[in-house]
Structure 1
Amino acid sequence: MDYREEMKELREKLNRNAYLYYVMDAPTMSDYEYDMLNRRLVQLEREHPEEITPDSPTQRVGDRILEGFATYEHPVPLESLQDVFSAEEVEEFCGKMDAALGTPVEYTVEPKVDGLSVALEYRDGVFVRGATRGDGHVGEDVTENLRTIRSIPMSLPEKLPRLIVRGEVYMARSVFEELNAEREIRGEPLMANPRNAAAGSLRQLNPKIAAQRRLDIQIFNLQLAEGREFTSHSETLDYLKSQNFKVISYKKVSSTADCQQEIVDINERRMSYPFDMDGAVIKVNSLADREKLGSTVKYPKWALAYKYPPEQKPSTVLDIVVQVGRTGVLTPKAILAPVHLAGTTVQSATLHNQDYITEKDIRVGDTVIVQKAGEIIPEIVEVDFSKRPEGTDAYHLPETCPVCGAPVSRDADGAAVRCTGAECPAQLLRNITHFASRDAMDIDGLGPAVIQQFIDAGLVHSAADLYSLRAEDIARLDRMGEKSADNAVRAIEKSKGNDLAKLLYGLGIRQVGVKAARVLANHFKSFDALAAASLEELTEIDDVGAITAQFILDWLASPQSLDLMERLKEAGVNMESTARLVDERFKGMTFVLTGTLEQLDRKTAQEMIEQRGGKAAGSVSKRTTYVVAGEEAGSKLRKANELGIPVLSEAEFLKMLE
C-alpha cells in the first residue's frame, strides 16, 4: 500500500475510534490496538512530515508553549441568556412568545452546563480555530488547547465550506475529583470547583497541561453553516450529532406546563449528568420564529435560562472532628444529623478552617441550614441562633496534630493550620511521593500507586524506610514481580548519591522549592552546616526571606525531623553538596531565559549559569543583566527591549560559556 493511502487509512481509523470512545462511549478497538496504530502513524509522519494533516490525531497536543492568546472576532455573536428564577417568570416568558407569534409555540428544553462557552470553526470539514466567548463579540483564540479535547472532532463527515458551532467546555465531576486527589498528594492547591478548573485549564499557555486536565464539551448551538439550510433548532442539533459532535440532550415540548415539567425532570436527573449544571435552557425551536422575535441589546428574546435555587434544609451539628490532609492541613468537619439534599443523604459538611467557624460561630449542638455548594459539596449556610442549646462553647482547633501529636502552626499568609510533623502518618503518602519525585531524590518507578502499596503492606512508615526495603518484600506485592522489585531497589540505592540540593527539596520543608534548596546547598555545602545556622545567617542569603528562614528553623527543631535525618544518615544518604563552581565569571549577574533553545534545555542552561556564580531568574526586571532569547521568544523579550536589557542569542550565550 502507498504510504499516503496508509496514512489516510490510519487517520480515519483512529479518528473514528476516538469518536466512538469519547463521544459514544462505545470503542471498537482495544487500547493496545489503538496505541499500535497511533505509533505507526507517528512513524510515517516522521518519515513524511509534508503529509501531516490538521485532522491527524497526532496533532491534538502541541509542543509549543504559548506566550499569550490572540483575540478572535466572532462572525456570529455568542449571546448570553436572560436568567429567571421562578415558575411564574417561565410562564410569563411562554405567554409573551404565544402573544408575539400568534400560534402555539414549540420549545426545546436543555440542561444548562456550568462551564466555559466556546465557538469552534471548521473549514471544508476540518477544525481550524476555536475561541472563548469573551464579551460575545471578541474572545480569545484557544485553538491549541481545544485540540486536546478528545470529544471535539478534528474533521467532519460533511465538508461544508464553513461551519461554526457553539459549546460548553467542562470538567467532568469524576475527573475533577481525581485531579484534586492527585494535587493533594503533590501538595498543590486544590481546584475550587469544576467550572473554575475548566476555565483555568482552557487558558493554560502550555497545551500539554491542558491535555492532562481531560476536559470535555457539550455542543448546544449551530452558529453558522454555509451550504446548509435548517428550519428548527432541534434539526440543527440532530445534524450536528450526525457530524460526530457530542451534542447536548434536549426535549421538544409544546406548552408552558410541559416546559415547567421538563425543568423539574432535568433537576431530578442532574446527578446523572457527568457535568455540573446550574439550570435549564428554554428556547423557541423554530428558526423563522427566532428571526421574527429578534434580540434585545443584551439577550435573544426567544430564549431564557431558568436557574435552580440551591436546596436548603435544617440539620443539627452532632460533633466537630478534625481531619489531617496529605499536605498536613487540619480541616474541621461538622458531623450532621442525616438530611436529604440534591438527590443524596448528607451527614457531614466541611468547615474549612478556624476563621470560617469563628465567623459563623458554629458550635456542637447548633441547628444549622445546609446546602450543597455547586450542587456537590455540602456546606453550612448559617446557624439558627434561636435554637442554640444553653451551655455551648465556641470551637477552637487543637494546638497539636490529632494524628501524630506534633505542634501545629498557622500559615503566615492564610487561614490554614498545619501539622509540623515530618513523619506524620496522615501525610505519609504525600511526603514519600514528594521525596521520591524527579526534582527531589528522583527514584525511578516510585509513583503514588507503588508507594501506597508499600504503606498498605506496612513496609514504610517514613521516607527513611525506603532505604531498608528488600527486593523479596517488594516482589510479593501485587503487580510487582522480581524484575520490578530489583529495579526499585537499584533506583533507591542510586538515590543515596544525590546532591544535597535534591535531598533538601525532597524533605518538603515549607517554602523550600527546587531553587531555594539549590541556593541553600550551594551556600552551606553540608546538612550539618545548615542545621547549625541561625536566623540571621539564613536571612542574609539571597532568595531566603525571613518567613522561609523561620520555616527551616522550625522544621529543624522538630523531633520527627531529627529522627528522619538521623535515619537517612545511617542509611548512607549523601548529606553534602556535590555541586562545585566551574568559575565565577557570572558572579553578580542575573540571567532570564525565554523561548526555545536548540542546543540546551532550560534546566541545563540554568545549571550552567549557577555553576559559574550567576543567578537564573524567571522574570525580567531592571536588575536583569542579560536575557537569553531562543526561538519564539515573547513577552519577556519585549520587556527586555523596553527596559534596554542586553539580549543574547543562544550562540552568544554558549560563546560566553567557552
Structure 2
Amino acid sequence: MDRIKAEQRVSELNELLGNYGHAYYVLDNPMVPDAVYDQLLNELIQLETLYPDLVFPDSPTQRIGGAPISNFEKVTHDRPMLSLSNVFGEDDLREFDKRVRNGAGEKIEYVCELKIDGLAVSLIYENGKFVRGATRGDGRVGEDITVNLRTIRSIPLKLKEPVSLEVRGEVFMPKKSFHKLNEERGENGEEVFANPRNAAAGSLRQLDPKIAANRNLDVFIYGIGGDAENYGLDEHNESLNYLQKLGFKTNSERKVCHSVEEVLAYIETWTEKRGNLSYEIDGIVIKVNSFLQQQELGFTAKSPKWATAYKFPAEEVMTNLIDIELSVGRTGAVTPTAILDPVSVAGTTVQRASLHNEDLIKEKDIRIGDKVIIRKAGDIIPEVVRAMIELRTGDEEPFRMPENCPACDAELVRIEGEVVLRCVNPKCPAQITEGLIHFVSRNAMNIEGLGEKVIEQLYQEQLIADIADIYKLTKDQLLELDRMGEKSASNLIAAIDASRSNSMERLLFGLGIRHVGEKAARILSEHFGSMEKLMDAPLEELTAIHEIGDKMADAIVTYFDSEEVRALVERLAAENVNLSYTGKRVQVEAGSNAFAGKKIVLTGKLEQLTRSEATERIEAMGGKLSGSVSKKTDLLIAGEEAGSKLDKALDLKIEVWNEQQLIEELNK
C-alpha cells in the first residue's frame, strides 16, 4: 500500500476504532465483538509500523483505554492500570517467550491464570480497612465506585492483617446471575445486556448501590498495585497466596509453568473446559513469576513486557450473510435461518445461524448480503447479533417473510400476542416430521437409533404417518432404508419395544402439547396417574395444580378435545404403549412434616447434600421447590455464600434454616 492510500486508511481506522472504543469503554455498549476490534487495531498497528509519521496523538494505539464517565468522582491511580498485550496463537506465544528469555535469561517461570471477562478495579486498604475502590477508566484516571464495590460480598471490608496496600482485580457477574437478570429485564420490557461483562460494568456504574447489591456480582483479585517486595514477596504466585491469606478471593485455577510447552498445555486444557465454569473467561493471562525478572523486562508505554494475554478463538466474529432460509417446527412456527459464509466461532465451523423471527430481522435491519456479527448463544447455538450497516455497499437486499408456508403452501397466521408466524395446517409434512423427531428424542420416548434422518426416510417412504405407526414397524421394513444393516435394524426394533414401557410423563412430553415441558409432564403424570384421567380433566382441576398455569391448562384441554388426538391415544394403547405413571407418587398430608404443602427456596452452597438430592428429598416429603423468594415463600434453606435471596427472605421475615436444620428434619 502506497503512502497516500495508507494515510487515508489510517484516518478511517482512527475514526472507526475511536467510535468503537467510546462505545465499549465509556458507554458499556460495545458496537462490535472483541475479535473485530482486535482485527482492525492490528491493521492500524501494521500501517503505523510501516509509516511511523502517520502515528497521531489521538490514535487508539497511543492510549490504554477510554475516558471515564462523568457520573462518579474521578480518581487518579497512583500507578497506571496498564493493559496487556495480546497473543492469538502458538506462534505468537512462542515469540513472546523468546522476547522474555532474551531480556531476563533462560530460566523463566510463568504463572498462568484464567482471564476473567469482567471489569478491572482497584481497591485501596488502609490499616487493613477498605477505604476506596475505583474502575480502571483510561488506565490513569478512573471512577470512584466505592459504595457499589462495598456491596460485593467477596470483597473484604476488613483484612485479616492491618496492612495498607492497593490490590487489583476483576469484577464479574456469574453466568446464572446474568441469565436471571436478563430474564427479569426482558419480562419488564427493559433492554437486555449483551454479555456478563457489560452486565457487571453496568451494575457497578449504578448511582443507587441497592441495584448493584441485587446483581450478585463477584470478584477475583489478581495482584498488588504497588511494590509487592515491600511485603517481603519475591514472586507473583507467592503474592497471590499472600492475598488469599489476607482474606481476598483469588482464582485457584492458576498454575506455575516452567516452559512454554507447559503454558500451551494449560491453554489447551482450559480452551476445552471453559464452558464448565460458572463465569465467563475470554483467554489466559501469562505472567513472569519472578518480580526481579519483571523489573528487568520493564514496560512499554501501555503494557508490561513480562505479561501477555492469550485470547481464545473468537466467540463473536464477522462473516457474510448470503441467504435466509425458512424452517417449520413441530408447532407450526416458521423460523428464519441465516445462511452464512463458513466461519469459525468458538472452535467450530458455523454456516447457519438463528434469526428467531421476522420482527427481530426488521428491528436489527438485517439484509441478505450484509456483513454480520455471529456469536454462539450460551456457547452452543449460533445467532446473528447485528448487521454491520456501516460496511454496506448498496447491493444488500431487504428480507420479506412469505405469506404461505414453505412446506405445504398453507396461509401463515400470526396468533395474537405472539411474534412468530405459524402454519396451522395439521397435515403440514414439516410439522409432522418435526413432531415425530421430538417424540423419539432422548428426553421424550428415548428411542435410540431412530434419529432425524431415519424419521425423514420413514415418512417419505410412507411407512409412518404419526407416532403410533412407529410401533407397527417391522425389521424387514427397516432393512429397506438407506444405510440400515441387519444389526442396526434389530437394535432399533428392540429400542422401540423397550419404549413401550416408559412411564407416562415421557409419553406426555413426547406428544408435544404446547407449553407442556418435561417438568410439567412429570407433575401432571404424578397427579393424575393415567392418561385417561388427564384427558378427561376439566380446566378447573388443571389450574388448581401447583405450577400449571391458565395458558398451559387451556392448551391441554384444547389438545385432548380433538377426536384425532383421542383416536391416536387409543391406537398407542392398542400397540401396548404404557399410558400410566409408573414413578413414585407423592401423597403427603399437609402438616405431616415441616415440608408438606410448603413453598421452599434453596440458596447458597450445600456441603453435605447436592442440590438435586435436597430437592428430591424435600419433594418426596410434599414440599414445593421454587427458584425465587416472595411473600408466598414459607421457608428458605441457606447454605454457604447465600446471597440476595437470603437478604430478601430476612426483609420479608421468612423463616430461614441452615443445612444442618434441613438434614435433621429430613432424617426424622
TM-score by length of 1: 0.45
TM-score by length of 2: 0.44
